[in-house]
Amino acid sequence: MDTIIQSFGLSPSDFSVEKIGTGHIHQTFKLARKISSDQESFILQRVNKNVFTKPDIIASNLKFAFDYLNKNFPGYYFLRSIPSLDKSEMVYDNEGFPWRLFPYKGNTITIDQVDNAAEAFSAAEGFAQLTRCLDKIEIEKFNETIPQFHDLSWRYQQFVDALARASAERRQRADDYIGICQQSYSLVETYEKLIASGSLRKRITHNDTKINNILFDSESRRVVCVIDLDTLMPGYFIYDLGDMVRTFVSPVSEEESDFSKIVFRKEIYDALLSGYLSQLKDVLSEEEKSAIPFAGKMVTFIMALRFLADYLNGDIYYHITYPGQNLVRAGNQLTFLKKLEKCI
């Protein structure tokens, strides 16, 4: 890591390194100044090259978005990586992993669960503001960092493939959840019809709008900026809205194993929608707005399928800390899906 730190023009001995974050994919570290000074601390991130097989696309998408926002919305704060000494957005280590450096924003916090309606409103407004600012950007200039990332049909097919390959033991342990996913297939058909109807416009979407991807000011609790922009790419608004519903409206995170705690919080859902539409009511078409109730169900189902497929595949994608964790996550998401189906 010292070599990487040096390639960004920093001296490793000035910093203490601490692993942070709850992300499943990358490894993220805080480089804190050992002696407090006015100078910045940093976030250093090792990008998972097995998931992002073309990491340069992340950099080119972000550069284009940053330049556009800078020109058209100069007041909008977009957290951008700091180039290395040789002006690269990413520095590769000798195992071929790309690393990125970000400024560390002091006096900010992230949260893993929404506590109240005001938080839901602000966070949704924060993500929606990004969609609004990027409404007129040239989509053709972007590439997909992970193809078909939120394509429900493709995610269902990955689940079917994983099921065909799974060990008998895992298949048996997951039997109940496999059944629920198969019974929920009509969501895939709804998705396919919706996309085929052409009623949703392709936009630039964040694609990972879970609640802990917002930085809040630690005192005022106002949104400072959105983070984790590596899946900023073309998509439909339901992808972003849906992941907010998935992660804001349940009082517990996707890691919770006591499913009795998973409920639909109507006041949070309503606040989320108000915050979201405060930015986008004049941007989304009426046809798009009629897809709002589908968004949360669709993305929650995707995550259930992805966690379940990973369990069936032998836990090769999401980082786990105990055996069966992906099964717990899948059960958690399916429980929440049932609540959504009842309440929306």
**Binding footprint of ligand GN1 on the chain (CB under 6 A):** 23-25, 51, 208, 210, 228, 231, 254, 303
Residue at shortest CB range from Mg ion: 208
What CA–CA distance (Å, rounded) separates 1 from 144? 29
Closest approach, Cβ 304 to ligand GN1, in A, equals: 11
- The torsion region of residue 214 among left (phi > 0), alpha (psi -120 to 50) and beta comes to beta
User: Do the beta carbons of residue 141 and residue 292 sit within 8 Å?
Assistant: no
- Residue numbers 139-198 binding Mg ion by CB under 5 A: none
Nearer to ligand GN1, 279 or 333 (CB): 333
Nearer to Mg ion, 89 or 228 (CB): 228
Residue 254 engages Mg ion in binding (rule: CB under 5 A): no
Task: Quote the least distance from Cβ 12 to ligand GN1, whole Å.
Answer: 26
Contact between 270 and 244 under an 8 Å Cβ cutoff? The reply is no
From ligand GN1, Mg ion, none, which one binds at residue 51 (CB under 5 to 8 Å depending on kind)?
ligand GN1
Cα distance between residue 304 and residue 112, in whole Å: 18
Q: Which residue's CB is nearer to Mg ion, number 180 or number 232? A: 232
Angstrom distance (rounded) from CA 15 to CA 33 = 5
CB-nearer residue toward ligand GN1: 121 or 317: 317
Residue 221, sorted as left (phi over 0), alpha (psi -120 to 50) or beta, turns out to be left
Select 10 or 114, whichever has its Cβ closest to Mg ion: 114
- Candidate ranges 6-14, 127-135, 225-233, 335-343; the one touching Mg ion (CB under 5 A): 225-233
Stretch that binds Mg ion, among 200-208, 214-222, 233-241, 273-281 (CB under 5 A): 200-208
CB of 18 to Mg ion, least distance (A): 20
The number of residues that bind Mg ion (CB under 5 A) is 2
Binding partner selected for residue 24 from Mg ion, ligand GN1, none, CB under the kind-specific 5 to 8 Å limit: ligand GN1
Which residues are CB-neighbours of 213 under 8 A, at least 6 positions away? 110, 206, 226, 227, 228
Residue 180 CB, shortest distance to Mg ion, in Å, is 26
User: Pick from Mg ion, ligand GN1, none: which does 265 bind, CB < 5 to 8 A by kind?
Assistant: none
Task: Report d(CA 227, CA 22) in Å as an integer.
Answer: 13
Q: Does 240 bind Mg ion (CB under 5 A)?
A: no
- Round to whole Å and give the CA distance between 238 and 58: 21
Instruction: With beta carbons less than 8 A apart as the criterion, state whether 85 and 8 touch.
Output: yes
Distance CA 104, CA 124 (A): 23
Stretch that binds Mg ion, among 133-141, 223-231, 256-264, 287-295 (CB under 5 A): 223-231
- Dihedral sign (CA 86, 89, 93, 94): negative
- Please tell me what DSSP assigns to residue 281: T
CA distance 119 to 255: 21
| Residue 208 within binding range of Mg ion, rule CB under 5 A | yes
Say how far apart CA 148 and CA 162 lie, in whole Å. Answer: 17
Length of the chain: 344
Closer by beta carbon to Mg ion, 24 or else 173: 24
Q: Site for Mg ion (CB under 5 A): which residue of 89, 228, 240, 288?
A: 228
Return the residue nearest ligand GN1 (CB atom).
25
Residues of this chain that bind Mg ion (CB under 5 A): 208, 228
